[in-house]
Every structure is written in structure tokens, then in C-alpha cells.
Chains A and B, each alone.
Chain A
């Protein structure tokens, strides 16, 4: 791995690129790739980012290291101030939260996510639940989605368990369509919905219709890899580019912020060995 940039570091940098300077952004709990992306953005191209940490609601914290759990005093060390739980969600409801980061065990082609249950009718698997995602997905200015489990290998019977699905069993976090095909704006929601998705196989945006579209690949993944592991057919950008690798300073920053490499717990075991450059 030494001398190489890892998949985790490349995903963190890709998520960080979706964060604009001079905006307010909030990460949830249980999302070290995103936590690190916000810290990278704040310390590189977005110094005027209002970074609101999930669980502690600390503003612009400077944690000495990433802890494996989000509601820990480690994670709000150095915060300039802190929000109450109601204040954070009020900000989003009032249109003052520019970006949020969400994921799911199912993510559909419109960027809706399921973190509640598998089984559309009968409960097959109870997932942990969405935290604040359901409310925030309708309210925040824009969303970055991410998953480190896009790759869906076939089992012995040739069946795949897709992360990127045609249709979610349950929509916890709303993307660009409801299950019955309505657009959030028709419902009066003010949020802009997801505008990007970063996965272990590629990066995506959403076209004018709100449909997921592949825009970037890693040097070791192909359009075929993406198609094989996606239950629907994503649109393809005119020019599917290679995802840029993080600058050496960014890699160094990530390694300093996360000495225990907590973020790698989000990756599939085989993906922890992937490196580039």
C-alpha cells in the first residue's frame, strides 16, 4: 500500500470534491468516509465551510483522531460552537443546510435510499433505521450519496444481492422520485435531492430528469463492472473520465486524521487492498 493511494482515500477525495466552499454541510453518524471528506474539504479547498459534525452537532471540530463511534468527545474536540438537535434540523427545514450525505442498503436509480427494512411486504431484514435522513433528504440543498458496497458478486446460484437497485423495498430517504413516480417538487419539498454518488466502482451524477448517470471510473474498474453490479441500467455521461487521485497532501492529511484507518471498516475486505498510482 505504501506509495500507493488506496480506494478509501480516493473515495474520500471524490466525496470531498462535492463540497463547496462557503456552504454549510452536515454528516451523519456511522460514516467515516464522509467525516474524513468534510475534514479534507475544510482543510483544502473549502476553508469557509461550516462543518457540522453528526451526533455531536459540533461546528468545525478538530478531532485528534477518528473514533469508531460518532457520538464521542473525540469527535467534537476543538469545535467552535455546538448546535442542539432541534437547531440542526431547523436549519435544514428552513433551507439553510446546503449539503448532507446519505447512504442505504438499497439505493435506486433516482437516488432514493432504504435504511429501514428489506422486504417490500413481509419484513425480511430489519435495518438500523435512517436517523435524520428521511427529514433531511426532503429539505437539504443537495445530497451526496455514497456506498462502499456497490460491487455485487454472483453467488453459487448466480444470484446477486444488489446495492444499486431498480426500486427500493422502502424509501427512507427520498431521491428524485417517490415509489409511485412523483417528483419531490410536486410534493412541495424544497430540497435539491442527490446530485452525486460515490461508490467503490465509480462516481455518478444525476441527469436533468433525476436519473443516475455514470461519470467516472477508477483505473481498475470498467463500464461492464458497473453494469454487472447494478440492477438497473445507469445512464452514461458522454465522457466517462478516470476519477482523479487525491493529491499527496490530501493523502497525508487523511492518514494523519485517521491513524487507526477506521474508514476502511466501511470497505469490503477485498477492496481494502485496492491501490492506485
Chain B
């Protein structure tokens, strides 16, 4: 069960609710019920790590529409959401596959056709907009951006003269995502989350968003969570969580599994051939054709794949072999 959020200061602005329920555990399909059409969604993780891919596939199956996605550096997560027709605006700072494969084909198509409004941001701008919300402020100043085309693209950015120094500064408005979707390594029943390795913007997302829904590799006791090093997202930010092993696949979720590069290459090759080819070659078999996360895991190789991607622990040679040995 999930809780009915309360808002401590009794107003819509700027406080986000605190989520006080004792037991936040639920199932993936119920978890995604917190994401509604038209929401501003902060997608956790970054590039090829710890992206909430099981949640994203479930959102596509559900047919969620008109999301505005906000964040820093992303890849297959936003690309797949665009292919699934879920996105109407992108305020990400990067969506691509780095030098490994290049531009994100579905994202590009969606932007270039006009289906997705291009509203590119920049990492520090996003950070400052989230921090404004976290601090209960309507905006934050930034020194940078003025003089770039990014400034011209955003009529909501303003300038002011600092009353103390006389300097001109850029102001960026607070951003409060309706919901953050996050995949973490561990959580407990109360909703405390432990992210291992780079948290990217997830902790900021959790503090700034009205709701946080999380999939985790393992739900453990609070005692065990503390043994592992403790929570970095306290439970009261979190609306609901579900145990979804391999929930970030094909992105990495160390120490459980590395990035599934062959799967990602197949994804990319299909995506590059066009929207129709991608639908029949990827969306149908891996998203719509797998009615549950368990069915997806079977489809991508089940235990064998999990074991293989976990073999990074066996040493540098084993780790390196997961990426293939020759340049593309």
C-alpha cells in the first residue's frame, strides 16, 4: 500500500509532501500508477547506468502520454520513452549513446518530427532549478547561460542585477517534478533507498519531486541497509517501491550487473532503421510482448544473462570482455 501524502505547510507551494506510510512496498504495475499523463518526470540514473528501465517499459505498456522529462545526461531511457510515444517535451541536457553508438535515433525522430518539444537544459541549470524547490525558493541565480542560445530558447529564464554587487545574473525558476522514477540497488520496506556508486542527480530528484517511485534490486531490512552503508534517500521522500531484480537492464546496476552492451547494440541497430523497424524489431518483442518484468527477463536470457553480466567481478579480463574487444 502507498500513503496519502500530507503537505506540512498546508500550501501547494513550495513544499513537497512527506510520505509517512510504514510500508511502501508494492508491485511494479502498481508503482507506475503514480505516473500520470502530462506529468513532469525526473528519470534517475544516467547514460548507461542505473536507469529505471523496467519502470519505463511498464509505462510504455500502460500507454502513458505527454510526459515532460527533465534531467542531466541520459540515453536509452529517454530514447525508449520517445519510441513508446510517452513524451511530449524534453528538458534533458543530453540524450545519446556517447561515442559508443552516437546519437539517439528515436529521440532524434521525435524531436525532428515535432512530436517532442525540444527544451534542452544544462546540468547545472537543472541542479539549480531542483535546489530552488528543495530550499523552498521560487528561483535560483546562476552566473552562466547569458549569451548562449540556450538562454534565448528559454523565455522563463530572467536576468537581474545583484543588489549587493551590481553584477548581472541569470535566474532560473524552481522545477518541481511531479514524480521521480528511480532505480536503486537497495531499499527497505519503509522506503529508505541506498544508491551505490555515482548517484547522478537522483538524490536531488528525490528531494525536489512531489512523488518518488523506486524499483530496487533488493528490499532488505533497515538493519541490513545500515550494514551496507546506510540510506542516501530517506524514506519520507519516497512514495512507493518495488523489488525488481535486473530492473535497470540493459543499463548497468553494479555490483549486481554490468551494462548489456550487445543488447544495447541490437537496440541501436533496430532504432537506426526507422520507427517501423524499431517497433517490430524491438518494441513488440521486448516491451509489448513481455507483459511482465519476469517475461522480459526470460526474453533477454534469464539466469544466463544475469550471471554473464555479473561476471565483471571475476577480474579485469572478464569485465573487459563484456564490452566486446574491437572498435565498432
* Chain A interfacial positions (CB closer than 8 Å to B): 29-32, 55-58, 64-65, 67-74, 76, 82, 84-86, 89, 92-93, 114, 116-117, 123-139, 168, 170-174, 178-179, 182, 184, 187-190, 259-262, 264-266, 272
Contact = CB atoms under 8 A, between A and B. Distances in A.
B124 A129 contact: no
Interface string B302-328: 000000000010001001100111111
7 smallest beta-carbon distances between A and B, as pairs:
A128-B96, A30-B98, A138-B144, A132-B123, A135-B124, A89-B124, A126-B111
20 contacts: A64-B320, A67-B323, A69-B48, A84-B199, A85-B201, A123-B112, A123-B118, A125-B112, A130-B122, A134-B122, A138-B147, A138-B148, A170-B149, A179-B149, A182-B147, A188-B146, A189-B144, A189-B147, A260-B320, A261-B327
A32 to B, nearest CB: 6
A89 B327 CA distance: 32
A129 B148 contact: no
B143 A190 contact: yes
B173 interface: no
B328 A132 contact: no
B144 to A, nearest CB: 4
A84 B134 CA distance: 16
A112 to B, nearest CB: 8
Contact of A73 (B95, B146, B252): B252
Contacts of A259: 320
B290 interface: no
B186 interface: no
A264 B327 CA distance: 7
B142 interface: yes
Contacts of A92: 124
Given A31-B99, A85-B200, A93-B143, A178 B148 contact: yes
Nearest to B107: A126
A195 B129 CA distance: 31
A116 B121 CA distance: 10
A100 to B, nearest CB: 12
Contacts of B96: 30, 128-129
B94 A128 contact: yes
Contact of A85 (B123, B325, B328): B123
Nearest to A55: B47
A104 B273 CA distance: 25
A128 B104 contact: yes
Contacts of B100: 68-69, 265
A132 B98 contact: no
Given A73-B258, A89-B123, A130-B93, 5 more contacts: A65-B316, A93-B143, A128-B96, A172-B149, A265-B99
B235 interface: no
Contacts, number: 197
Contacts of B259: 69, 72
Nearest to B123: A132
The interface residues of chain A, by DSSP majority, are classed as loop
A58 B120 CA distance: 26
B42 to A, nearest CB: 13
Interface string B74-103: 000000000000000000111110111001
A132 B147 contact: no
A71 B46 contact: yes
Contacts of A72: 48-49, 252, 258-259
Contacts of B296: none
A69 B47 contact: yes
B21 interface: no
Given A125-B112, A138-B143, A265-B327, A85 B72 contact: yes
B168 interface: yes
Contacts of A132: 72, 93, 122-124
B327 A129 contact: no
Given A73-B197, A171-B149, A184-B147, A135 B47 contact: no
Contacts of B203: 84
Nearest to A129: B94
Given A29-B47, A188-B168, A85 B204 contact: yes
A68 B96 CA distance: 13
A188 B123 contact: no
A64 B320 CA distance: 9
A29 B73 CA distance: 9
Contacts of B68: none
Contacts of A93: 124, 142-144
A32 B328 CA distance: 14
Nearest to B101: A68
A182 B147 CA distance: 8
A123 to B, nearest CB: 6
Contact of B148 (A117, A174, A265, A272): A174
Contacts of A64: 316, 319-320
A274 B97 CA distance: 26
B108 interface: yes
Contacts of A260: 320, 323-327
A162 to B, nearest CB: 18
B254 interface: yes
